[in-house]
Every structure is written in C-alpha cells, then in structure tokens.
Amino acid sequence: MKSLIVLRHVPFEDLGVWEPLLIQRGYKVCYYDMGVDELEMLSPEQIDVLVVLGGPIGVYEQMSYPFLNAELQFIRERLQAQRPILGICLGAQLMAQALGATVDSMGHKEIGFTPLQLTDVGKTSVLSGLTSDIPVLHWHGDQFAIPTGAESLATTTLCPHQAFALGSYALGLQFHLEVDCNRIEQWLIGHAVELSQAGIDPNLIRSQATHAQAKLQQAAETVLKRWLDALELP
C-alpha cells in the first residue's frame, strides 16, 4: 500500500472529496496535525505522496507559531528530493517560501466560489478541466510569488498567482479543490470571525457551495487523478 501523509492545520480543512478517491487508488492516508504531532519521526524522502493543507495563519508568522519552522524545513527537504508534493492554500504558500519565493498579504480577501483563468501552460496541465464555468473555492488574504523555475498555471482578478507546478512532482494551489460542499457549514463556523471582519454574508458562501457542488467535485477528482497518473508511482 502506498503512503500518503497529510499535514493538516485545522481539523475541518482536510482532504474532503479527495480522500475516498485516494483510498480507492491504494493510498494509506495518515494525517499529521501541525502544532500537535511531531514531524521528527517522518522521513520527507520516503513518503510516497505528501499533501500540505490550508489554515488561517501566514507562513511569515513563525514567531507566533514556531512549528512552522519545522514544517518549512520538512517541505524544503521534500522539494529538494523532488518527491511528490501537493500544497493547498497555506500549503502552497509554504511550498513557495521553501522554494525561495515571497509570500505576502494581498491587502484584501478573496473568499467565495469563482472560476479561474488558466494560463497558456495551465490549459495543457492537470488543471485543464477547470474551465470558466467551474467555480472553485477561494479563501485567503495572502498570495505567493511564483517560485523560480516553476510554471504559473492559473490566475484571477483578485489574485494573479493561483497555481504553480514544478515538473510533475510539485503542485501548489492557492484555491481549494478538495472542499466537500456538503460540509461547507464547518468552514463557515470555523472562519466565522474572518467572514465577519471581511463583511461577507455566510449565506452567500452557502448558496455558492450548493450551486458549485456537482461540477466542482467532478472537476476536482479529475485534477487529482491526472496528477497522480503523472507521478507514475508503482
């Protein structure tokens, strides 16, 4: 059985709709909760696939959240070994910083379900199925710069850097493809303060999730299948 380690920052931001697919593909899924579980027992090079999920903190907050230092080093070693790694939101930002790119506040929030605009490279990448009629979930106030040597795959008006890839082994996504729209209430409760501060009505997100669910889940599963297929793992 292939190993898949997930670095998780808040309980409700998990693998979502991707988890059943990964189990079906023969992966043993194991979560490590950052700030609680230690990474010292793991070898960043020996894991078959590493997934780094989102969370409501910034990569630049190491003084407030010291576990980020160990997590960044773990991700850096994984990238140096060119072993399969997928980052979502904060996870993608951690990947970018580990690769030497900057991560900064955008000065505004991007929260809600809206489509992407794929770059020319993105249109021939694993994201090619994320057409303009498929809204994806955005939930962030920071953005990464595209790391040196990586290819930019997608953009939006509010955030020009939405996805990057390094070869077939590293994929960083600023947006949330993994979200299970049937469990959006957990996101609304968990991020209630952020929504209130941003002046966003939870009912809007709830309605968007209902309308996006069918197309988004199918597209999200296709993206993951294509990425896994490209890894050519035994």
Q: Annotated catalytic residue: which of 110, 161, 178, 181?
A: 178
Which CATH fold would you assign to the domain 2-231? Rossmann fold (3.40.50)
Q: Annotated catalytic residue: which of 138, 140, 161, 176?
A: 176
Q: Annotated catalytic residue: which of 89, 138, 140, 191?
A: 89
Mean pLDDT of the chain: 96
pLDDT score, position 3: 94
Q: Is the pTM above the cut of 0.95?
A: yes
Residue 100's region, left for phi above 0, alpha for psi from -120 to 50, else beta, is left
Helical pair 67-80 and 90-98, crossing angle rounded to 10 deg: 70
Name the residue among 174, 178, 126, 135 with its Cα closest to residue 17.
Answer: 178
* Sign of the CA dihedral with 211 first, then 214, 218, and 221 last: positive
What CA–CA distance (Å, rounded) separates 188 from 203?
9
Q: How many CB atoms lie within 10 A of CB 201?
A: 10
Low pLDDT (below 70) residues in the chain: 233-234
What CA–CA distance (Å, rounded) separates 108 from 97?
20
The neighbouring-strand residues paired with 177 are none
pLDDT score, position 233: 57
What CA–CA distance (Å, rounded) separates 70 from 51?
16
**Taking the domains of the chain in order of start, what are their residue ranges?**
2-231
pLDDT score, position 119: 98
Respond yes or no: is residue 176 known to be catalytic.
yes
pLDDT score, position 88: 98
pLDDT score, position 45: 87
